[in-house]
Amino acid sequence: MRAAIWFLFLFAVAVALSIFLGANQGVVTLFWPPYRVDLSLNLVMLLWGFSFLALYVTLRGTQLLVDLPQRAQRWRLLQKERAVQQGLLQSIFQLSSGRYLRAQKSAHKALVLLQDLNSGRMEHALSEIYLSELQCMLHLIHAEAAHALRDQVGRESHFEKALSWSRALQVMSHVEPMETSHLLATRWHLSDKDPQAALSSLAQLSAGAARRTVALRLRLKAARLSEHNELALETAKLLAKHGAFSASVAQSLLKSLIASCLSQAKDEAQLLKTWGRLEAKERQLQGIGMLAAKRLLSLEGSVEMAKEWLDHDRAILYKEPQSLSPEMREQLVLFLQSVILALAPNSHDLNLLEQAVRSHPQVTELQYLYGQTCMHHALWGKAQQLLELASHRNMAPSLQRRAWIAMAQLMEQKGEHAKALELWRQAALLQH
């Protein structure tokens, strides 16, 4: 379409010129005393056009000739710039493929060319920011390769140079090189098993960069490596909110970190402070209440408070025991037994257990716990019936042994020493 329009335009110009020049009878007379020269107007116009074209070509050629050294310099700078970019790409590929020595050589070659570019740079050719970014990136690649080769001296040398270029770029409002440098340094420190230095590098990031997922993952790893469980827990919460983990992984990680924080408590006050920092949904994670209650009792804390912290786990055991693993049910039942026996008999606990056993008669752990609770309430006959029923069913050896011991004690109270002796023997055999 464009070509057709141009053809039409050229035809229109040709027609206009033929009409104007064909019928033009004008004459231009030049007087140069004592001479007179008569020229056709068409010829004068053609001569004027050709003279203008010749003048333009002459001036343009002169300008190109004058600019030839500058153009040659630009061409040389362009070739060097392309060589630097090629060296940068080669070093990146070689670093990614594990060819660390070649990556260092390519980066070094590019750095040498960059020095020539810096010395021969023209204001309108290459910007200072662009060259500084290239310098910073090449030094970081060299440092990363040196780290892989365990050359700590070379790594620190090139990292300091990259850091100096990063600071210069940061002054010019380019913060990405500085953030990249600190994140790489954090990875190196973690690889060197130096979590404190890693946390120090992360502390130099801006507030926005420190909240990014990559920085949070590094902070979580450093905090766990340094056993700073409170910082690790806080970081894991942020990562979970950002969707960095799947739901199951996030729950498992939070549970592990909360357990570590609880186990680090040195006294009851510190444990209460740690428990108070937890959100409601975190306290309701499976097994967390039991871990906190165990730690509280190990610190000689209040048994009543321990029982209160067990409410959620106990509710799961009573209402949905199948959702718990057999090992978890065993641990929870044993700990609940110790808490219940440490307190005065409570009819409310007995009623809750009775309802749970009626709702889940196939769960032997509940029958065992109900029997022990009945024994604590001096309901000897019911306790014996429940413990006998539980001991003859498929139950964990530790619970079965405790059930036989409890029945042996009941038999001794009733004066049936032969049966008691047999039960003691069975419990002893199971223990071995």
Backbone angles phi, psi at 413, to 5 degrees: -65, -35
pLDDT of res. 249:
87
Return the structure tokens found at 226. Answer: 């340094």
What 8-state DSSP symbol labels residue 267? S
pLDDT of res. 219:
94
Q: How far, in Å, CA of 340 to CA of 317, rounded?
A: 15
Mean pLDDT of 303-311: 88
pLDDT of res. 329:
86
Please, are residues 379 and 405 in contact by the beta-carbon 8 Å criterion?
no
pLDDT of res. 164:
92
Q: How far, in Å, CA of 232 to CA of 240, rounded?
A: 12
pLDDT of res. 220:
92
Percentage of the residues of the chain whose pLDDT score is greater than 70: 96
Mean pLDDT of 173-198: 92
pLDDT of res. 126:
64
The least confident of 5-14, 144-153, 209-218, 313-322 is 5-14
Q: What kind and span of H or E run contains 395? A: none
Mean pLDDT of 287-316: 88
Burial code (b: 16+ CB inside 10 Å, e: under 16) for 260-298 equals bbbeebeeeeebbebbeebeeebbebbbbbbbbbbbbbe
- Indicate if the pLDDT at residue 123 is higher than 60: no
Mean pLDDT of 125-143: 87
The more confidently predicted of residues 155 and 363 is: 155
Q: Kindly report the average pLDDT of the chain as a whole number.
A: 86
pLDDT of res. 186:
94
Q: Cβ neighbours of residue 195 under 8 Å, at least 6 residues apart? A: 189, 222, 223, 225, 226, 228
Write down the H helix ranges in 212-246.
Answer: 213-225, 229-241
pLDDT of res. 104:
94
Give CA angle at 277 (275, 278), nearest 5°. 70
pTM assigned to the model:
0.74
Task: Specify which of 142-156, 233-247, 299-313 reaches the highest per-range mean pLDDT.
Answer: 142-156
CA dihedral of residues 370, 374, 375, 381 (deg, nearest 10): -110
User: What burial class does residue 395 get, using C-beta atoms within 10 Å of its C-beta: 0-12 exposed, 13-18 middle, 19+ buried?
Assistant: buried
User: What are the tens digits of pLDDT across the range 386-413?
Assistant: 877 777 777 777 887 887 788 878 887 7
Query: pLDDT band at residue 120, thresholds of 50, 70 and 90?
Result: low
Q: How far, in Å, CA of 30 to CA of 342, rounded?
A: 132
- Indicate if the pLDDT at residue 183 is higher than 80: yes
What 8-state DSSP symbol labels residue 192? T
User: What are the tens digits of pLDDT across the range 11-24?
Assistant: 887 777 777 766 67
Q: What is the 3-state secondary structure (H, E, C) of 52-118?
A: HHHHHHHHHHHHHHHCHHHHHHHHHHHHHHHHHHHHHHHHHHHHHCCCHHHHHHHHHHHHHHHHHHH
Mean pLDDT of 182-193: 94
The least confident of 20-34, 190-204, 291-305, 376-390 is 20-34
User: What are the tens digits of pLDDT across the range 207-223?
Assistant: 888 899 999 999 999 99
Concatenating the DSSP letter of every residue in 136-186 gives HHHHHHHHHHHHHTT-HHHHHHHHHHHHHHHHHHHHTT--HHHHHHHHHHH
